[in-house]
Chain A
Amino acid sequence: MSLSPEKALAYWRANLRIIWTYLAIWFIASYGCGILFVDQLDTIQFFGFPLGFWFAQQGSIFIFVILIWAYVFSTNRLDEKYDVHE
């Protein structure tokens, strides 16, 4: 492995930053909108759904799918930037 320790550390920190960002969105979409603030959001109607209920049973799942793919593209780009891709 030709990667210098400094560069490896920088890569790891950048990777952690990506993970934290996406996990924050993951948390807000599921625990935030689907559980903690579900009653407040339910007062808003969204395409025939109470919004909180929609997040809990539909929206959070769509957001999860988008998140994983966003993560795939971000880390692929990061791997190339640090030249650690396969």
Chain B
Amino acid sequence: MAEVKTSRRDFLVKLAQGTSLAATGGFLWAHLLRQEARAQPYALRPPGALPEVDFNAACIKCGQCVTACPYDTLNLAPAGGGIPIGTPHFTPRKVPCYLCPDIPCMKACPTGALSPELKDINESRMGLAVIDVENCLSWKGLRCEICHRECPLKGKAITLETHPRQLSKHAMFVPLVHSDACTGCGICERACPTQEAAIRILPHNLVQGKIGEHYRLGWTFETEITQDFKPAAPAAPVTPAEAPKEAPKEAPGVDYLNRGL
């Protein structure tokens, strides 16, 4: 009888020891994974990369994209480098992505972490170019514009805009990045002549805001009324579609302030 008791106690103690050991090890391991997977949000991924969380899940860390890249753009992150371990990334200031039309890195990916749904390299969104207007030569009034000229989507991803210059009749020509066309290839960052690049590529989620769907820009015709915002009362506000019907009643530019003048 006593023997049975001892072995039961032994069993329970062993069970508790094993469980706590497994739990401790599991928590440590999980912590390590969380640290590593969220290592840093600044990694620029090859074209076609899935969103960061999915990419981290899918990438098998084989480096076939790295070998496939003809420009040696891509690197596999070594351990302790701050970028999720073993995943491909690039540093545009060193070597940007030159936007191969056949996208060899994506084709080399065996797991689909670089999604084969990307058909046109110009549709890739590796990041977004951001201009530091305090250090941009064009914003200093110089005719630099190198980023604009080097941009493979010149006129779409980067346009030149005029900007008034203090105490001068001459305008400045300043570059402006458009997120709907910018691939994040980083050729502009590579080309920027300042000591530290004044235009650089950052992941979208670090630079892009979101206006929120409840804002209705009533003065643009593209803005649809979202499902979330429906006027409760039947007295609906004047929709843009109805506006032109009323407009012809009065001459253009006439409203209640100058009516009858």
| Chain B binds chain A | no
